Structures are given as structure tokens and as C-alpha cells.
Chains A and B, each alone.
Chain A
Amino acid sequence: MKTLGSLFFVTLALLPAQGDWLMFRGSNGNGSTHRSLPVTLKTQGDKSWSQDLPGRGIASPVVVGNTIFLSASSGPYQEDLHVLAYDSSDGKQLWQRTLKATGRTVCHKKTCVAASTLASDGKGLIAQFSSNDVFAFDLAGNLKWARGLTFDHPNIANGLGMSSSPVVVQGVAVIQVENDADSYSFGLDLQNGTTLWLKKRPKAANWTSPVIINTKGRSLVGLQSKEGMTAIEPKTGKTVWDYQDGASTIPSSTWTGKGILLLPSHGITALQVAPDLQSFEPIWVDNKLKPGTGSPSCLDGFLYVVNNANVLSCASVETGDIQWRLRLQGPISGSPLITADHLYIFSEDGLGQVVNIKAEKPEVIHTFDLNDTILCTPAVAKDAILVRSDSKLWKLSD
């Protein structure tokens, strides 16, 4: 009984709290929530606010409890790396920490050094930047540790900038810093930042993020690259299985939580992962579902993907059968956010678009213009949507 009790406690402790949005595309990493969000979003009101930011960024916000966390970069060379905390209720800044880039900060003008979304285990934060600096903070803003992966390996860099977002699982921060030269993924000890494992990876520019592949009590991390998808043990980096038929280097994979991994490969390739996570089998491929810059999102058996022509497609996760398509106003860089009834997405020009995905004929039912460049994927804070530009953070609610 003692053992069972302990396991139960551990399982509870690992579950994200209601309302948290812990990493890129949410606590489940698939861009969805069952919470109901307002359709008519306002930029001002009792539950809406905006805050000026001290630097640029395309990283999404994350949420723990009532606090919103975000990264930004500033300075003549974007060498100032900021991690920021805001009170979700009123947008008041709670703290700001600024450290310095120790790696290269050169980026394409469309992106910036704060491109990677923070990751949290609910107790702390991992911040990764395009300079390949990685920092751990507690939620009060106390630095726990710092690493400079380009300081360690001077050829870890991408002339266009890096953008992979970290994941935190089983006490490990999994960091992909893959590029044309010295290409690696790291497993860093969440407690002290030491290297638990270092994995040589395909030498190719790669902007995708690792994805957590989990069932009850088991977790792997999927590392995507131009060569395909490698599933590893988070604590050791040991390869469990390898899909080697190529994959995109921009949109990331999505774990449905129902045993299926949606991999941007030949459009979308759906991999059925065994319940013990030890093997996989491709179950369908559809090149008409090829994502553009954003990654696929999914909820309740359906996936949603936006292609380079700004066409939103909804398809069955089980079969890949396309249910409907809808042209959106683009160009679009971020990934869609899915709720039970609606899809939220922003164009690069700052146009928020809400789609009624459960209607017989889905259509855009509400738009609102932020009049700013929005490249990030929206996040969720209780009954509101969070987005950021290079200069502002918005909480949008009714």
C-alpha cells in the first residue's frame, strides 16, 4: 500500500494544474484545451489588457497558476536575454531577469533571439534562446542555473537563428540545438543543469521542437529532423525507435495523447505508437495535409493544419480523412489553438480569426485586428488568449 500510495502522489504531482499552459502549444503540447474561451475577444476590458515588452520575441507565453511567463531579447545585437513574469489578472509585471547571450545572436530579421517558448514543470522554468543559452529559474525569478551550449561547442549556431522550444520531462530539460555544423540534442538535469546525455544529431538546420510522447507512467521524447523522428528515453537519451523516412525541419510533430503521433513527413504521416511506447507503425500518410510554418494541432480525434497557402484543413486523426477545408487570411506563422468548439489563429499582420469548427459549415465567425506583427502561437490563461508581438503582450478575453 505504501508503494501504491507513493505512486499515486507522484502521478498527481506530475499532472499540470487546471489553467496552466506549460510549454509551446500548451501543457499537452498539441495546441488544444477543453476549456471554453470567448469568441468575441476584446483588447480592453475587465479581463483584457496589454503590456509593453522590453524586447523582441516570437516565443509564446506560458502560464503557471495566475502568472504569465515570457521571454524577450533586446540590445543592439539582441544580446540581452529577458525572462519576464506578469500577473495574469491585471498584467502587472512581477519580475524581469536579464542575462547575456554567450552564443551567436545573428538571426534572420523575421525571427529573433527570443524565439523558443519557455517550458515549465509547474515549479520552475527553462528558458532557451537562439544563442543557445539555457537558463533555469524558479517561479519567483531566482536563477537556478545557467548553461551556454555555444560556449561549450562554438559551432552550435544557425545563421538564420534557432527556434526549437525545450520540453521538461522526468526531471530532464530536453534541448534540441540542431544545425548544419555541430548538431546535438542535450538532456540537462533540471536540478543543476549538468549534461545527463549529449546526442549527435543529423547535420542540418532544424527549427522543430521536441515532443513528449506519453502514456500513463511512461514518457519518451521525439526528436524530429530532416531524417525523420527519433524517440528517446528522456533520462538517458537512448534511442527507443527511429522513423527514417524524412520529416520537415520547420513545423513540429504533435502527440495526440491517444497513441498517435502526427509527424510532418510527406505532408502528415500518422504513427501509431504501441501502448508501451516501444515501437510504432505508420497508419496513414496524406501529402494534402502538409503544414506551412505552424505545427498541427489536435483535439477530440481531429487534427487541424494550416498550409503555406493559408488553407486550414481538418482531418480525422485515426484515418487522415479530410473533413473540411477553409481559406484563412494570411500569411500565418503561428500554430492554431483549438478549443471544444472553436479554433483561434493569428495572421502575421495581427488579424485574429475565430473559426467555429463544430458547425456544419465551418467558417470564420469573428475577427479582430491587433495592428501588429504576430508570429507566435497563441497561449491560454483561464478564459483568455495570450499573444505577443515584438513590443507587446496581450491578454484577450470578453
Chain B
Amino acid sequence: MVCQVEADYEKNIIRAFTQLDAHGQGNLKAVQAISWADKLAPKSIPTLLQAMNQANPVGDNWIRGAIARIAASSDRATFPKASVKAIIQNHDNEGSTRRAAFEILRQHHPSDAEALIPSFLHDREPSLRREAIQVILEDAETATPPARSIALFQEGLQHARDVDQIKQASQSLKSRGQDIDLITLLGFQTRWKMVGPFDNTGREGFSAVYEPEKKLSTKASYPGKNGQVSWSSFSTNDPLGLLDINHHYGELKEVVAYAHTSFYSPKSQKVQFRLGSKNAWKIWVNHRLLFAREEYHRGGTRVDQFILDGSLQKGDNQILLKICQNEQTQPWTKNWEFCFRITDPTGKVIQEAAPQ
């Protein structure tokens, strides 16, 4: 039982933390509220954890801070183990809530937390699922006979969502003579229509609105940087779905290219668009700009470098990318490339469905 005074503090703390918004909005109330955490007992920890269901990621951090203040006075006897465990096991909670509950359980009762890990194999929360995959991959490394090891790696590969674990499992299977199709497994979009090059002298092309941005038609041709340009097919067999634009147009500098693909979805659904590129880029989904990033050659191109929340509509979806190359001449700046895949919000690959 939480007494009325404590319940009021809980309520006010939760209200302050769940009303936090970007740009520090709500900070004044939250600063006051977090000091009230000192008045709460460990039994309030589950209530605060569940408040993460309504908070944004910054609010989550305030809640973590408040819980740390409370937990400082908690010992094994007073820590509300059963309630925290119930939060982890209740899949109606947000993944971030359940993850936070798992971490605090592991901090206070490590063996109880570890015992839950095998149950995360099918979990919708990628960070929890990852824990289970890690155990399987570690077991697979030492399992005997070899067939058992292969079976475990395959199980890990089947359920993994994180690219590093998928790579680890697939490399282990390859070294054991198994064929792995990473392109399909990771769901890379490998077939595109491409048009370019357009001018990016002085990096002006990033902001310039060229014709493909105004009206998307893969049958059209346009004035490009070096003459008239038209759409052509462009695909890759690279195991990590890398599309090397230099391979298509030759090694060019100060240029822009557009890549288009359509993606059929049998239903409207929330997804994540996962792009990798070391070039400046923009992405439009169904003619709406989703995100743009003007940064060149700060690190390499990585799978899932940028994970963008978005949605697919039922039917055909038009995806347009703008990939910009700048003027730098160092060897590490010649890359003009991208990779792209679509997953659901849990990281599960969405393969394109056949149109109905």
C-alpha cells in the first residue's frame, strides 16, 4: 500500500515527467518533481517505471534519475522484485519500459533477471530479444556435435534483429559450410531506378530542387550536370546491399543522383526506413520529405546508420532518395553510395509483398 501523501507525490512526479517536451519544455516543473523522489519508498519504483509508457525518451531519463534516487535507499528486502518482474513480462508495456525494468531488476537481483533472458527470444523489444540471441550465439560457439552448433546458429539467425548479431551468426554458419543469403535475410532494397548526375558544385545541389523532386516520373528525362539525363535501372548483388553510384556513373565529384523504388505493402503500417550513406542525402516517402542530412564523409557507410520512423500506405509506396557527392578529393571521400531496407518498428524485415 502506498499512503495518500506518497501517492500524491507519485502522481505529481509522473505528471511532470510525462509532460516534458522538446527544447526543455516542462523542465521547471520536472526539476521540482525530481526532488520529491526522495520522499518515495522503493514500492513506488514500479509505478514510476510504468510512467515510461507515457513519457518520451528524455522523460524516460528523468524517470531513471528519480528511480535511482529511490533505489539508493532500497535493499534486497525492500526492492519490489515481483512487481518489476511483472512489468517486464507484461507485453502491453512499451519496450523501453520493460527494458528499464529489466535493467533495474538485473541491478538488484541479477540471477532473477538472467533467468528471464531465454523468454526474450521472440520479444518485440529488440534490446531484450538481443539478450536471448546473445546467449544462443555463445552456446553455439561451444556446442557439440557440429550439427548442434549449426542448429543453434540458425536459431539465432532466425530470431536476430540486430545487424551485428546477424552478421556474427551468418559468418559462423558460412565457416561451417552453410549458405546464407544476407541480402534476403536483411531485406535490402537492391533494385532501383536511378537518374543523374545533377550539379552539386559548392554543395548547392543538396538544397537545389531538381525536377525529380518536383514531379516523380521514371519515364522523364531532365537537363543534368553534363547534359540530358534519364532514369535507368540500377541494382546490386553486394551482400550488405551497398549500391555504388560511382559504379553506375563513373567516379564523379560535386554531383547529385536520385534513386527511386516502389514498395508494395498489403496494409498500411508503421515501419522504419533504414538508410546507410556517408554522403549527404534526402528521403521522400510517397512524395513527402521524411528526413534530410547534409553531412559528407564523416565515417563510413553502415547498415542501419540512420533509422527513420515512418509508415507505408496500403498498396504501392514511392520511395525517392537523393544522394549527394561533394568536392573533397581525399581517397576516403570518393564513395558515393547507399544501402536501404525497411523493417517494422521492432526491427523485423518487411519483405515486399506481391501486389494483389
Contacts and interface: CB of A to CB of B under 8 A. Distances in A.
Residue from the set A99, A107, A144 with the largest chain B CB neighbour count within 10 Å: A99
A143 B22 contact: no
B65 interface: yes
Interface of chain A, helix or strand or loop or mixed?
A: loop
B22 to A, nearest CB: 5
Interface stretch (B76-84, B150-158, B237-245, B289-297): B289-297
Contacts of A20: none
Contacts of B56: 151
Contact of A102 (B28, B58, B69, B103): B58
Contacts, number: 105
Given A142-B69, A193-B31, A148 B61 contact: yes
B199 interface: no
Contacts of A107: 299
B164 A148 contact: no
A193 B295 contact: no
A141 interface: yes
A133 interface: yes
Contact of B57 (A144, A151, A159, A203): A151
Contact of A106 (B58, B62, B162, B305): B305
B302 A154 contact: no
Nearest to A180: B295
Contact of B68 (A102, A143, A157, A179): A143
A179 B69 CA distance: 35
B24 A194 contact: yes
Interface string A177-193: 00111000000100111
Contacts of A146: 58, 61-62, 65
A47 interface: no
Contact of A151 (B22, B30, B295): B22
Interface in B279-307: 291-296, 298-299, 302, 305
A370 interface: no
Contacts of B305: 106, 159
B205 to A, nearest CB: 15
Interface string A155-188: 1011110000000000000000001110000001
A192 B162 CA distance: 37
B28 A194 contact: yes
B294 A180 contact: yes
A284 to B, nearest CB: 32
Given A76-B130, A148-B61, A151-B56, A158 B27 contact: no
Interface string A191-203: 1111100000001
Given A102-B58, A144-B31, A144-B34, A193 B64 contact: no
A152 interface: yes
Contacts of B291: 154
Given A99-B64, A99-B65, A152-B22, A143 B293 contact: no
A145 B58 CA distance: 10
B10 interface: no
Given A76-B130, A151-B58, A145 B27 contact: yes
Contacts of A76: 127, 130, 162, 164
Contact of A158 (B30, B64, B294, B298): B298
A106 B300 CA distance: 10
Contacts of A97: 65, 68
Interface in B260-294: 278, 291-294
Contacts of A325: none
A395 to B, nearest CB: 25
Residue from the set A99, A143, A158, A181 with the largest chain B CB neighbour count within 10 Å: A143
A147 B34 contact: no
Contact of B62 (A141, A143, A151, A192): A143
A205 interface: yes
B60 interface: yes
A100 interface: yes
B23 interface: yes
12 contacts: A99-B61, A102-B57, A142-B68, A143-B68, A145-B30, A160-B299, A180-B295, A181-B294, A191-B31, A192-B31, A194-B24, A194-B28
Interface of A: 76, 95, 97-100, 102, 106-108, 133, 135, 141-148, 151-152, 154-155, 157-160, 179-181, 188, 191-195, 203, 205
The 9 closest A-B pairs by CB, nearest first: A143-B65, A159-B298, A159-B299, A180-B295, A102-B57, A146-B61, A148-B58, A194-B24, A99-B61
Given A143-B69, A151-B58, A158-B298, 13 more contacts: A76-B127, A76-B164, A97-B68, A106-B305, A147-B27, A151-B22, A151-B57, A155-B294, A188-B24, A192-B27, A194-B24, A194-B27, A205-B298
Interface of B: 22-24, 27-28, 30-31, 34, 56-58, 60-62, 64-66, 68-69, 72, 96, 103, 127, 130, 162, 164, 278, 291-296, 298-299, 302, 305
